[in-house]
């Protein structure tokens, strides 16, 4: 933070924000977190994930899984059975999310305390 002197160079600061944005975008939207959580308990098939997450439509599940796959957080594997089955699993890179999510969660819990306390 200290190396970013916004008062003199706002452009520098914009650059500092970009990776933060990247991280936030990964978890953005209504369904990313539930999907990641569902998969932390092991690889699952499309329908299984769908059943785990209350209210998600096939459309959104498909879209979000694709997004996570593009970001190499989830691996999609097609098994050569009949009928074909597809399995989704968290990648090693995806597991690195856990620490960040824990940090967010801890801050969120502290924030609740703060808000509840002062009113």
The footprint of DNA (CB under 7 A) covers 28-31, 45-48, 55-60, 62-63, 65-66, 76, 83-86
Q: Which is nearer to DNA, 22 or 58 (CB)?
A: 58
Residue 96 touches which member of a copy of itself, DNA, none, C-beta under 5-8 Å by kind: a copy of itself
CA angle, corner 85, sides to 82 and 88, nearest 5?
165
Q: What Å distances lie between residue 54 and 47, 50, 105, CA to CA? A: 12, 8, 21
Question: Could you tell me which stretch among 14-22, 59-67, 76-84 binds a copy of itself (CB under 8 A)?
Answer: 14-22
- The binding site for a copy of itself (CB under 8 A) comprises 1, 4-7, 10, 13-14, 16-24, 26-28, 33-34, 37-38, 40-41, 52-54, 71-72, 93, 96-112, 114-115, 118
């Amino acid at each position: 933070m200290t190396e970013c002197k916004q008062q003199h160079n706002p452009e520098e600061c914009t650059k500092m924000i970009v990776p933060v944005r990247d991280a936030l975008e990964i978890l953005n939207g209504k369904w990313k977190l539930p999907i990641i959580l569902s998969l932390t308990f092991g690889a699952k098939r499309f329908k299984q994930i769908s059943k785990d997450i209350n209210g998600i439509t096939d459309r959104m599940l498909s879209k979000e899984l694709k997004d996570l796959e593009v970001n190499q957080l989830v691996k999609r594997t097609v098994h050569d059975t009949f009928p074909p089955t597809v399995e989704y699993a968290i990648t090693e890179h995806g597991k690195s999310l856990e620490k960040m999510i824990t940090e967010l969660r801890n801050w969120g819990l502290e924030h609740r305390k703060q808000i509840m306390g002062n009113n």
